[in-house]
Each structure stands twice: as structure tokens, then as C-alpha cells.
Amino acid sequence: MRLLVLQQDLGSWTAQQICKKIRTFSPTAQKPFVLGLPTGGTVEGMYAQLRTLYQQGELDFSHIITFNMDEYAGLSPQDPQSYHYYMQHHLFEGINLPENQHHILNGQAPDLHAECKAYEKAILASGGIHLFLGGVGRNGHIAFNEPGSSFSSRTRLVKLEENTRQANARFFDGDVSRVPTHALSVGIGTVLDANEILFLASGEAKAQAVARLALGEITPSWPITALKTHPNATLLVDVKAALALPQAMQENIRKELAKSPTQPAQILL
């Protein structure tokens, strides 16, 4: 897999890459481009750029199908802290993606297990995910697959770790007691089924998870390390998230970035 370190804003670089991939694919109604989508602070800039690219006529979402990674259990789609609401606000209301082409797990479904099963079926029926975008939790979680999740896990109801609830409390007015205890999440296996994976991590809070990926063994204790088992996976990080990498690696990154400051430095893992 590739670790890319970018000096500039991750959002615009990522949105440009997505745009290129979609245009190269040339989606049609018969052959839509299927995107896996994340939520979280890290990807807000990426969504803003995608909206801009749409407004500038660079990107057409009419033949794109999307599947979001996760949703809190128990929150209604109208709840401002739900991922439904996040997606409406950050992306869907600013682009031309038809409503029946975006999918988000329903955290209020009467039968949550049936909801998860149906989600896996819907992904399969769409032909599978071409590009799965994602963020990384401070503890290395991907989607809501907390440490210990099996690499073959599928979409399911999961219990959130206390530290994840604390990290996400900032979206709930800092009140951790309001953060749901459970969520619905695609599995690590669901993510690994995608043709290509592009995950993003920014800020020092993610530096440990990034260093684990770069140096450590492949282990369910750090779900992010599952990306190493995929033939076409990339983790794009900013300079702060690269701060816990060993000095020699950081030195190489600095040299590469000095040569071409607008391009990411690449490390093969």
C-alpha cells in the first residue's frame, strides 16, 4: 500500500483525484461509478471541494451511486448529529446526486440486523464499490470498526469504544453522554472488497495510528492496518499526522516535499 504525505490541504487534492477517477471511468446509467463515503471532520474540506467542482461543471454526479460507511444507532436522519444530516449538509444538497442513488444505514430501522444484511445486498447489487473513501479514528478504527474487529467483518451493529465516544463528543456540544453507545457500520471485509481504497488522516491526534500502520504488524488491534492487505490502498496524511513516523522516514518525506511541494511524498509500505 501507499502512504502519501501532503504539505497542503488534503481536501482539494483528494477531490481532484476523485474527479479524475470518475472522469476516466465515464459513468453511465448502465455503468455507474460506486463510491464509499465517510463522515467526520477530516473530510469536510474534501466535500466542500467536491461541491465546488460540481458548481464549476467539472463533476457530474447523475450516474454515481454512494454508500456511506456508518451511522449512529438510534439517531433519526433529521438529528443534526446523525450522519444522514452531515451528508445532506456537507455534500448532497450541493450536488446533483439523485436521492435514490445515495445510501446510508438507517440507525432507527426496526430490525437493525436486517438493515445491515440488506445494506450488504444493496452494495452487491450495485456491482460493488469502485472507490472507498474513509477517515481514521484516533485508535486506528476505520468506519466504526473498533480495535479487535475481524478483517472479514461485514456490515453490523457495533458497540463504540469509550475513547471513540469521547473523541466524537465534540460534535455533540462536548457532552459525551449524548454520543450514542452503538452504531451501524460496514465491516472491514466490506471495505476491503472495494477495488480501491483511499483513506485520509490529518492532525497530530492521528499520528499514532499512522505510525502503527507504517511500522507495526498487521493486526486487528489496529484496524487501519487491514489496508496493508489490500492490493490498491492509499492512506493520505498531512504533515502533522506524519509526526510519529521514524526520523529517517520523516527526513525522506521532507526532502521529497522540498523538491515538489504541491505533490504528496510517497512511501511504499
Phi, psi for residue 138 in degrees, rounded to 5: -60, -35
**Residue 168 touches ligand GLP, criterion: CB under 6 A:** yes
> Minimum CB separation from ligand GLP for residue 44, in Å?
8
CA–chain centroid gap for 159, Å, is 19
Strand spans (E) along the chain: 2-6, 33-37, 64-68, 70-72, 102-103, 131-134, 156-159, 182-185, 196-201, 233-238, 265-268
Of 1 and 32, which CB lies nearer to ligand GLP in the complex structure? 1
Runs of H (alpha helix) within 26-77: 44-55
CB 158 within 8 A of CB 188: no
**Residue 144 touches ligand GLP, criterion: CB under 6 A:** yes
- How far is Cα 96 from Cα 133, in angstroms, rounded to an integer? 19
Read off the amino acid at residue 73: A
> Minimum CB separation from ligand GLP for residue 149, in Å?
12
> Minimum CB separation from ligand GLP for residue 116, in Å?
15
Interface pick for ligand GLP out of 11, 36, 38, 140 (rule CB under 6 A): 38
Four-residue CA torsion sign, 121, 126, 131, 132: negative
**Residue 238 touches ligand GLP, criterion: CB under 6 A:** no
**Residue 153 touches ligand GLP, criterion: CB under 6 A:** no
Of 40 and 187, which CB lies nearer to ligand GLP in the complex structure? 40
Binding mask 112-141 for ligand GLP (x = CB under 6 A): ----------------------xxxx----
**Residue 42 touches ligand GLP, criterion: CB under 6 A:** yes
Phi, psi for residue 159 in degrees, rounded to 5: -95, 135
Cα 254–Cα 260–Cα 263 angle in degrees, nearest 5: 95
> Minimum CB separation from ligand GLP for residue 150, in Å?
18
**Residue 69 touches ligand GLP, criterion: CB under 6 A:** yes
**What number of chain residues touch ligand GLP (CB under 6 A)?**
15
**Residue 40 touches ligand GLP, criterion: CB under 6 A:** yes
The residues binding ligand GLP (CB under 6 A) are 38-42, 69-70, 134-137, 143-144, 164, 168
